Structure formats: structure tokens, C-alpha cells
């Protein structure tokens, strides 16, 4: 059974879905990851390897958690958050008193920025939601300066037999239930595991990044192999 929309309908589907879950998005992230998501975002921010005062583009910033984490690591960072869904960004705006950065509406497949405009670009839990993963990486590569990094955080299904089975039970059965109860949007939390199941495995994703023109592409797994962080250099 798949509930994934056809490619032509995906952008509108994704935007509607995130608009609906925006008010409960952060809370559900904390609950479903037992609060570990913050450390993955911190790792992403570190892997961006920004210089002091560096320019960071957080693509599909959502409620801004990666950009906020980058600002916590180094308050001189000049971050910009871009997302398709205004409601997600509104939920993130001003949520951490002293920290702020500009949010802008836009599409990861047509970034409204000049070539080489940033020191690094990153995305968290976005790539599963775009219709063309290679094009999304190519766009991030375009707006990053030569030598700058592109970093990607995504969920992946673990391969260990017993844990893999347990995780699938949690992810395909419990997550839609809990997500549905708390957000009132069970369909969105059913889409989540199905979108991960149809997403390239980490080694394949690294190949896609290389084909998009990034070099020295590497990745590391976290949370018992359920999270993958990839990075490459322009
Ligand atoms: C799961 S949320 C992740 C938000 C944030 N990066 C985080 O780490 O929590 C996915 C986000 O991707 C955004 N998104 C999906 N497709 C997009 C696209 N083509 N361009 C820009 N944003 C997109 C959605 O609107 C949503 O806010």
C-alpha cells in the first residue's frame, strides 16, 4: 500500500500536508525522536564547516531548527531559511528569543539566489519530499561557492534484521497513530514512513550527490542507522 502522490501533484500535496501539521511539527519531532533530533541538526550545522560570519542557506527550513542550531553554534553566522510552506516558517519565526534570521518562501528546485552566494547549503528531512532529488542537490551546489559544502539530513530504514523489523513496526504502525492523535493529520504521518521507504539508500544517495557535481561525498549514520547525514564539496 502506498499513499505517495503522483509526481505532478507532489508539491501541492507536500505544501498542504506541512501547512496542516505546522502547529504540532516541533512537538512531534521531539516526541518521535526522543529529543535526539536536535543533536543531528547540530551535527549538520557543524558539517557545514562555516567560516566566522559565514553565509548558510537552510533549504526547506520548516520551523528553522537547523538554522537556529547553526546560530547557537556561532552567532556570527548569516543564515537564510527557505521553504515552500509559509505556515511552517510562521511557526518557527521568533521561537528562540534572541536568535533570528530571515525566512523566505521558495522552491528547493528553483532557488531564488545567485550562483556562489553561500558558504554552505543544507537541508533536513526535505529530500524525500521533492520530485527530483538530483536537481535539488544541483541547485544547492549552484548557490554554494567553490569549496563550500552541501549537507543533507534524512531518515533511512535500518538494515539490522531484528532492529530493522522493530523499527519498521514503530515507524509504519506507531508513528501514524501517535502523529495522527497529536496533529489530527494521520495521513501526513502515514506518508512519512512510505516516503522514507521509497527514498534512495545512503550509498545510492551519495552517488546522486556525486553525479550532481559534488566531490568527496561522505555520509554517516546515526540513531542506530535510522538517520543519515551526507555531505559533499563544490
Ligand atoms: C520534514 S520538514 C523539515 C523541516 C526542517 N528542515 C527540519 O529539520 O525540521 C520538510 C520541509 O520541507 C519543505 N519542502 C518540501 N518540498 C520543498 C521544496 N520543493 N522546496 C522547499 N521546501 C520544501 C516542507 O514545506 C517542510 O517544511
pLDDT at 3: 81
Is residue 40 lining ligand 1, measured as CB closer than 6 Å? no
Is residue 37 lining ligand 1, measured as CB closer than 6 Å? no
Q: What is the mean pLDDT of residues 207-215?
A: 98
Residues 6+ away with beta carbon under 8 Å from 27? 182
Instruction: Say how far apart CA 75 and CA 53 lie, in whole Å.
Output: 8
Is residue 140 lining ligand 1, measured as CB closer than 6 Å? no
pLDDT higher than 90, residue 223? yes
CA of 60 to the centre of ligand 1 (A): 4
pLDDT at 97: 85
Q: What is the mean pLDDT of residues 178-207?
A: 93
Q: SS3 for 149-178, per residue?
A: EEEEEEECCCCCHHHHHHHHHHHHHHHHHH
Instruction: Say how far apart CA 22 and CA 30 lie, in whole Å.
Output: 14
Instruction: Say how far apart CA 51 and CA 194 lie, in whole Å.
Output: 38
pLDDT at 30: 92
Question: Which of 26, 58, 83 to probe ligand 1 with, by most ligand atoms within 8 A of CB?
Answer: 83
pLDDT higher than 70, residue 208? yes
Instruction: Say how far apart CA 35 and CA 28 lie, in whole Å.
Output: 10
Backbone φ, ψ for residue 232 (5° rounding): -150, 170
pLDDT higher than 80, residue 2? no
Is residue 71 lining ligand 1, measured as CB closer than 6 Å? no
Q: What is the mean pLDDT of residues 191-213?
A: 96
Q: What is the mean pLDDT of residues 188-206?
A: 94
The per-residue DSSP string of 37-97 comes to: HHHHHHHHHHHT-PPTT-EEEEET-TTTHHHHHHHHH-TT-EEEEEES-HHHHHHHTT-ST
CA of 193 to the centre of ligand 1 (A): 16
Is residue 125 lining ligand 1, measured as CB closer than 6 Å? yes
The per-residue DSSP string of 167-229 comes to: HHHIIIIIHHHHHHHHHS-HHHHHHHHHHHHTSPPHHHHHHHHHHTT-EEEEEEEETTTTEEE
Is residue 190 lining ligand 1, measured as CB closer than 6 Å? no
pLDDT higher than 70, residue 1? no
pLDDT at 199: 96
Query: Residue 76: exposed, middle, or buried by beta-carbon count in 10 A (0-12, 13-18, 19+)?
Result: exposed
CA nearest ligand 1 atom 13, residue = 60
* SS3 assignment, position 101: coil
Question: Which of 18, 90, 95 to probe ligand 1 with, by most ligand atoms within 8 A of CB?
Answer: 18
Q: Which of 3-7, 21-25, 51-55 has the highest mean pLDDT?
A: 51-55
Give the lowest-confidence range in 24-38, 147-161, 215-229: 24-38
pLDDT, tens digit, 9 for 90 and up, residues 97-141: 889 999 999 999 999 999 999 999 999 999 999 999 999 999 999
pLDDT at 99: 93
DSSP letter (8 states) at residue 4: P
Would you give the distance in Å from CA 230 to the centre of its chain? Answer: 11
pLDDT band for 59, please (50, 70, 90 cuts): very high
**Share above pLDDT 90 across residues of the chain, in percent, rounded to a whole number:** 90
Residue 8 in contact with residue 14, Cβ under 8 Å? no
Q: Which domains does the chain have, with CATH numbers?
A: 7-156+200-233 (3.40.50.150)
Amino acid at each position: 500500500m502506498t499513499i505517495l502522490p503522483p509526481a505532478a501533484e507532489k508539491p501541492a500535496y507536500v505544501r498542504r500536508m506541512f501547512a496542516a501539521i505546522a502547529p504540532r511539527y516541533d512537538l512531534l519531532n521531539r516526541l518521535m525522536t526522543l529529543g535526539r533530533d536536535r543533536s543531528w541538526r547540530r551535527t549538520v550545522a557543524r558539517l557545514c564547516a562555516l567560516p566566522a560570519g559565514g553565509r548558510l542557506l537552510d533549504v526547506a527550513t520548516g520551523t528553522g531548527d537547523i538554522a537556529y542550531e547553526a546560530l547557537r553554534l556561532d552567532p556570527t553566522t548569516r543564515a537564510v531559511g527557505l521553504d515552500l510552506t509559509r505556515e511552517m516558517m510562521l511557526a518557527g519565526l521568533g521561537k528562540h528569543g534572541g536568535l533570528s534570521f530571515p525566512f523566505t518562501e521558495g522552491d528547493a528546485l528553483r532557488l531564488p539566489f545567485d550562483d556562489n552566494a553561500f558558504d554552505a547549503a543544507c537541508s533536513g528531512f526535505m529530500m524525500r519530499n521533492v520530485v527530483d532529488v538530483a536537481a535539488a542537490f544541483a541547485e544547492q551546489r549552484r548557490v554554494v561557492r567553490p569549496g563550500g559544502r552541501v549537507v543533507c539530513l534524512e531518515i533511512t530504514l535500518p538494515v539490522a534484521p531484528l532492529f530493522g523489523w522493530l523499527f519498521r513496526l514503530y515507524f509504519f504502525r506507531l508513528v501514524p497513530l501517535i502523529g495522527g492523535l497529536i496533529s489530527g493529520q494521520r495521513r501526513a504521518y502515514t506518508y512519512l514512513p512510505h516516503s522514507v521507504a521509497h527514498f534512495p539508500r545512503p550509498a545510492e544517495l551519495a552517488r546522486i550527490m556525486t553525479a550532481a557535481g559534488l566531490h568527496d561525498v561522505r555520509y554517516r549514520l546515526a540513531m542506530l542507522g535510522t538517520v543519515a547525514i551526507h555531505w559533499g564539496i563544490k
